[in-house]
Amino acid sequence: MKRKNSYPIKKSERDWKAQLSEEEYRILREKGTELPFTGKYNDHYQKGTYFCKGCGEALYRSESKFDSKCGWPSYDCAIKGSLEEIPDNSLGIIRTEIVCSKCGGHQGHVFNDGPTSTGLRYCVNSASISFKKSRIKS
């Protein structure tokens, strides 16, 4: 998997395999993709924050999530500095891969076809993220 040379969080592939499920490892470490409309966060709209499943880095706030009808969780922006963008020509087309800036874990791809004011659609695999609900202050 081609990423920049160094990320702050370093683990052996053995350690990654011990930490992640087979599906999470396939997606985060081998650039896999889950089937559309199967991920647990595709139709998830609670208030809170989405984190990298590999290292816990905060990636997206729930306010940026929207229903793109593409089958994967979609966001119109990421938390500043949380992702690295990498050119991806693996399918014979030019795309932009997004990986966690702390551990290099594959998240998905970002596209310039979003319906909001940012014009972006961060298309993310549910298996590459976790969610923490916001606490409601009383």
Distance (Å, whole) CA 129 – CA 138: 28
Distance in angstroms (rounded) separating the CA atoms of residues 16 and 14: 5
Q: Token pair of 84, please? A: 């690295």
Q: Is residue 77 flagged as an active site residue?
A: no
- E strand segments, the chain: 48-52, 58-61, 65-66, 74-75, 83-88, 95-100, 106-111, 121-124, 129-133
What b/e readout covers 91-130, taking b as 16+ CB neighbours within 10 angstroms? eeeebebbbbbbbbbbbbbbbeebeeeeebbbbbbbbbbb
Residues belonging to the active site: 123
